[in-house]
Structure 1
Amino acid sequence: MAVTERYFQLEGEEAVVHLPEKPNGFLVLILGDANHYVENKTSLWHQHPDRRRFIDALKEEGYTLVYSNQYGKHWGNDEAYRLTMRTIKHALKTEILNGKIHVFAEGMGALIALRMLVQQPDLLRSVVLYNPCLDLEAYRRHEKSNLFFYKRFMKELKGAYGEDEETIEKAIALPSSLWAKTCPETMVRIFHCVFQSTFPLEQHSRPFEEGRKERGAPVELTVFLPGKLWPDFVGPVKRFLASHEQLTKM
């Protein structure tokens, strides 16, 4: 029976590679949101039926997928970024894959994708952002309208970055400061579902899109009204990924 998944551990965190039956040679890195997890040889992507159909559809197209548990609510910290880079390196080393990868980042995972767009331009083939968090300062302002949510957010930031206030302020300011530094060649595709996202369109996806357009950097934003499910994104995502590949399928 063919092996369809390989689990491994890095820095004490569990990770998994999903293997297609007929590989096309391309890797898709998944960077999950706050509810993302990999543990005990299962994951959110296994347990959620619609998400499972989503990754199965990408595997049917020949994509190899990789993702890891990332210390919970990391809010884009150095540890999560370092683990991401190690996870990619492991997948590229153990599987037969092209060296330029696709990234699919949801919510909080977009904070890691932002750093990759600045620091790893030669590694990226394309980036897909789904309901992304792209501005922590805007998110803090948004959360201040509800004291309970604000306190929870600040507690999570302290868990991710420590108690030092200066460090936390730098962490909050970092994401939006990276917008103008993101790779001007890598295509970024954004899917934003109104009323389903923790991160409002007008505070995250829209200004990021406008900033890239002002620089002449490739970007496309699609806004969806309520009712869209994960399987509805399979077609658009597959077409987008395929349009940024020049390598003949294996």
Structure 2
Amino acid sequence: MNLLAADIVEKFYTFLWPMLRISALMVTAPLFSLNAFNLRLRILLALVLTWLIYPLYKWPVIDPASAQGLIEVFNQIMIGATMGLIMQIVVAAIVVAGQSIAAAMGLAMANMIDPNMGNVPVIAQLLLVMAVLIFVGFGGHAILLGLVADSYETLPIGTSILNQDVYGQVLRWSSMVFLGALLMALPVMVCLLFINIGLGVVTRAAPSLNIFAVGFPAMIVAGFLILILAMPSIGVRLEWLWMQGFEVVRDVTGVRRG
């Protein structure tokens, strides 16, 4: 019986390490961190993925209550969380783009309560739904799970991800919050700017025209028309942002493109 108990404890110590990294990814990564993907499903998916990955590598036996074990617990959580947070930068860029487009259209006050992102404009909510559909459509969830599985080869248990190179890569990638938002929102915002200039010229030519009665409805209608026309280019840009996020995850973890 003592031998059986020792075997169970040893298996638990080895099963814990892949479970921690995958669980941290489930908490932070897009799609998996949605509130609709509840805690029970996350735990179940993490257990299934750990069970599938467990036979592929040799795991060390480290007591998680020891000093070395506590450091390793922190390392594994940081690796999984860093992978997920890198992808969350794309989500932040989408929200900023939606806020910029909504402000240019005059819909900045039309907000929705998103359970994941908080109070966001309706345009940002539309882009978020579109981004999630694109992410699932090209298999982004499978790519992300494949990256975390391959990361155990390049970042085995006992390897720390906390170094200056990783800090620099993550900081450089964080600028994509603004650059990605600019790339998505710029076509719509430029078109609306020219419409605003036209309305200003009309107002100067006909001062009796009430710009508030004509300009705001015209901007909203024109904004939706331009947004519909710009949807194909926005969709391409969204897919490009997701793929760039995967490239940064590969650079941080050292996983080569297969």
* TM-score, structure 1 as length reference: 0.26
More helix by share: 2
Q: For CA contacts below 8 A with separation 6 or more, give which structure has more relative contact order.
A: 2
More strand by share: 1
* TM-score, structure 2 as length reference: 0.26
